[in-house]
Amino acid sequence: MQKQLLLGDEAIAQGALDAGISGVYAYPGTPSTEITEYVQHSKEAREKNLHCTWSANEKTALEGALGMSYSGKRALAAMKHVGLNVAADPFINSAITGANGGLVVVAADDPSMHSSQDEQDSRFFSKFAFIPTLEPGNQQEAYDMTRYGFDLSEKYRVPVMLRITTRLAHSRAGVQRREVNAENQISLPENPRQFVLLPANARKQYKDLLKKQAGLEQESIESGYNTYTDAADKKLGIVACGLAYNYLMENFADRKVPHPVLKISQYPLPRPMIEKLFNECETILVLEEGQPLVEEQLKGYLSKGLHIKGRLDGTLPRDGELNPNIVAVALGLPNTEGAPVPEIVASRPPSLCRGCPHIDTYNALNQAIAKYSPGRVFSDIGCYTLGALPPYNAINSCVDMGASITMAKGAADAGLFPSVAVIGDSTFTHSGITSLLDAVVDKSPITVLILDNLTTGMTGGQASHAEGRIEAICRGLGVEEDHIHVLKPLPKQHEANLEVIARELEYRGVSVIIPRRECIQTLNRKMRAKFKNKEKGN
C-alpha cells in the first residue's frame, strides 16, 4: 500500500479506523477538529455506520465514548487541551471505572497558544488520573500509537491518553497504513460493578488502578516507543519527549547525536532507562514540548544531585513551543538566523470576515451601550472574540466556554447594571445553558446576546447543536417570552436592532437577544456548491 500524506490529526483518525473503532466522540476545537472531520468524510466509516456526529461539548463526548467502551466496543474521544478541562470529571473517573472496550482519549495541546487561551500540558492531567499516555513524535507514530493505544487500553482495562501538540496535529507527512481490524462485538463488563463508583466499589477500583501502574511502566520499557541510544560523550545525557526528539535530530545532519539520548513517547516514565542515563551522564538536558513535567520529576523538589537542564533553569524558554533553533542554543551549537524582519512589516492580526453578521451586531451593541460607563460586556470563545480588537473594542472578557453569561450574572450580583453577555450559538449549547438557568433562577438583570450564525464558525463551520433550538431552550429555561428577541444583523436593520438592544439593556430581568444570520463563510461555501451543481445540471 502506498504511503498517504496525512496531517497528524488525520493519521490518528486513520489509526483509530484501522484499529476497529465503532465511534468517535468530540466537540470541535483547534487543533483537534480534523480528527473527527476525517472520520466524518471517510467512506469506510460511512459504510460501517460508525458514530461520528459532533457532541454538545467535551464532557458529553467523553461520556459517550465511555458508554461505548462499557458496551465492549472501541471508542475514540478527541478534544483540545482546554476541552479536557470540561471533560475532567469523566476523564478522572474513567480511570477508576476502567475501560471495557478500548478507550483512547486524544488531548491536543496548543503550546504558544496559536488558537487558545492557555498552553496547559495535558500530561499533567493523565499523570494526575493515573492514565497511561502516548506522545507521538511524527505522523507515522501518531497512526501506530493510536492503534497500540487501543490494544493497551483493552489489555489493562484503562483509558489511554494520546497527547499531541498543534505542530504535529497540523503537519502533513507520509503514513503507511496496516491491516484493518474488525469492530468488537457488544460484550458488557464481566464485573457488573466495574462502572458503579459507589464509595465501597470505588475504593477497590482505585486500588486496582494503582496496582496496574507497575505493569504500565513495564509496557513503557518494552513497547519500543521509548528508546535509549548510547553515544560516547557522556558529559551530557538528553531526554527528548515526543516532538522535541525531531528538533534534537534536526541539529545533527547525519542524525548521530554525540551524547546518549533517551527518547520518551510513552508514560508512566520508564524508570530503569532514566536511571541508566543518570548513572552514566554528568548532566541531563530535558527537551519537552509544553510544561516541564519530566524535568520537574527528575529534578525533585529540592533539586539536589545531578544537574538537570531544561525549562526551569533557563536553558530553554519557560513558555512557548520548541523549535530547532531553541534546541540548538540549548545544546551549545551555533544558532542560524536570516535577515531580521524589516521594520516596515506591520502585524496582521486575524479579523472578522467582510460581511460577517457579528460586525453588525457589535455596531448596534456599541452604540446602544455608549451612554453607560465602559467595561460591561462579557464575552466568550469564538469568532466574535475578535470583537475585542479594533475597530470594535466591544468586549471586556473571554475566559472559558460559557463564562460570558455567568460572569455577567456575577457582575450583576455585584451591582453592575446593565451587564451584558455575548455568546455564540454553539458555545451557548456547549456550556451556556446552565449559566442562563442560574440567571433565570436568580432573576438576574442581565442582557444576553446569543450570536446565532448557524454554525461553529471559528473551527471552520461545523454543525451547531443550537440550530433551530435556541428560542425553545430559552423559553424552557424560563426566560420570559416578551424578553426573547430575534434580530437580523444587517446594516439596513441597524436602527431597529439598536432600539431593541437599548430597550432590553434597561430591563431589570433576564433578556435574550438573538441576532441571527448565517456565517458568511458557510454561506459562500453553500452558494459555491449550488452553483457547481447547477453547472453540472446544464
Partner 1 sequence: MKNDIILAGVGGQGILSIAAIIGLAAVDMGMHLKQAEVHGMSQRGGDVQSHLRISDEEIASDLIPKGCADMIISVEPMESLRYLPWLSPDGYVITNTTPFVNIPNYPEIGKVLDIVQQQPHYVMLDCDTMAKELESAKSANMVVLGAASPFLCIPFERLEAAVAKLFGKKGDAVVALNIKALNAGRQVALNSK
Helix (H) or strand (E) holding 361: helix 357-369
Nearest to 142 by CA among 302, 15, 279: 15
Nearer to partner 1, 173 or 221 (CB): 173
Whether omega for the bond prior to residue 391 falls within 30 degrees of 0, making it cis, is yes
Please tell me whether residue 538 binds partner 1 under the rule CB under 8 A. no
Name, in order, each residue with C-beta under 8 angstroms of 378's C-beta and a sequence gap of 6 or more: 395, 396, 397, 403, 404, 405, 407, 408, 411, 419, 420, 421, 422
CB of 392 to partner 1, least distance (A): 13
Which of 123, 157, 170, 516 is in the footprint of partner 1 by CB under 8 A? 170
Which of 86, 359, 364, 458 is in the footprint of partner 1 by CB under 8 A? 458
Please tell me whether residue 348 binds partner 1 under the rule CB under 8 A. yes
CA dihedral sign, ordered 175, 181, 183, 186: negative
CA distance 537 to 68: 43
Which of 155, 172, 177, 469 is in the footprint of partner 1 by CB under 8 A? 172
Nearer to partner 1, 255 or 304 (CB): 255
* Interface with partner 1 in residues 244-263 (CB under 8 A): 246-247, 249-250, 255
Nearest to 274 by CA among 309, 228, 308, 234: 228
CA distance 79 to 58: 7
Nearer to partner 1, 213 or 323 (CB): 323
CB of 114 to partner 1, least distance (A): 6
Please tell me whether residue 180 binds partner 1 under the rule CB under 8 A. no
CA distance 334 to 69: 51
Name, in order, each residue with C-beta under 8 angstroms of 382's C-beta and a sequence gap of 6 or more: 423, 424, 426, 427, 451, 456, 457, 458
Structure-block grid coordinates of residue 513: 437577544
131 phi and psi angles, rounded to 5 deg: -105, 125
CA dihedral of residues 22, 27, 31, 35 (deg, nearest 10) = 20
Structure-block grid coordinates of residue 384: 466574535
Question: Can you tell me which residue has the cell 525531531?
Answer: 246
Nearest to 451 by CA among 389, 496, 396, 497: 497
E-strand spans in 28-132?
A: 74-80, 103-109
CB 111 within 8 A of CB 244: no
CB of 287 to partner 1, least distance (A): 12
Nearer to partner 1, 113 or 441 (CB): 113
Nearer to partner 1, 508 or 528 (CB): 528
Question: Can you tell me which residue has the cell 471559528?
Answer: 458
Binding segment (CB under 8 A) for partner 1, from list 164-172, 206-214, 287-295, 508-516: 164-172
Please tell me whether residue 459 binds partner 1 under the rule CB under 8 A. yes
Burial profile 315-347: b = 16 or more Cβ within 10 angstroms, e = fewer: bbeeeebbebebbbebbeeeeeeeeeeeeeeee
If DSSP codes are grouped into helix, strand and coil, which group holds residue 232? Answer: coil
CB of 250 to partner 1, least distance (A): 4
* Interface with partner 1 in residues 104-133 (CB under 8 A): 114-115
Please tell me whether residue 384 binds partner 1 under the rule CB under 8 A. no
Which of 15, 20, 23, 31 is in the footprint of partner 1 by CB under 8 A? 31
Whole-angstrom CA distances from 298 to 123, 124, 132, 223, 283 are 15, 15, 18, 22, 12
Which of 44, 124, 174, 207 is in the footprint of partner 1 by CB under 8 A? 174
**Could you tell me if residue 532 is left (phi over 0), alpha (psi between -120 and 50 degrees) or otherwise beta?**
alpha
* Interface with partner 1 in residues 316-345 (CB under 8 A): 323-325, 328, 335-342, 344-345
Nearer to partner 1, 287 or 408 (CB): 287
Which of 21, 24, 26, 33 is in the footprint of partner 1 by CB under 8 A? 33
CB of 231 to partner 1, least distance (A): 17
CB of 337 to partner 1, least distance (A): 5
CB of 453 to partner 1, least distance (A): 13
Binding segment (CB under 8 A) for partner 1, from list 154-162, 196-204, 347-355, 361-369: 347-355
Nearer to partner 1, 49 or 336 (CB): 336
If DSSP codes are grouped into helix, strand and coil, which group holds residue 256? Answer: coil
Nearer to partner 1, 33 or 85 (CB): 33
Nearer to partner 1, 33 or 431 (CB): 33
CB of 331 to partner 1, least distance (A): 13
Nearer to partner 1, 240 or 408 (CB): 240
Name, in order, each residue with C-beta under 8 angstroms of 411's C-beta and a sequence gap of 6 or more: 376, 378, 419
Nearer to partner 1, 19 or 243 (CB): 243
Binding segment (CB under 8 A) for partner 1, from list 268-276, 277-285, 454-462, 500-508: 454-462
CB of 3 to partner 1, least distance (A): 7
CB of 486 to partner 1, least distance (A): 26
Name, in order, each residue with C-beta under 8 angstroms of 311's C-beta and a sequence gap of 6 or more: 286, 288, 291, 292, 295, 317, 318
* Interface with partner 1 in residues 184-243 (CB under 8 A): 243
Helix (H) or strand (E) holding 23: strand 21-26
Which of 18, 34, 119, 288 is in the footprint of partner 1 by CB under 8 A? 34
CB of 263 to partner 1, least distance (A): 12
Binding site for partner 1 (CB under 8 A): 3, 5, 7, 30-31, 33-34, 114-115, 167-168, 170-174, 243, 246-247, 249-250, 255, 323-325, 328, 335-342, 344-353, 383, 386, 458-460
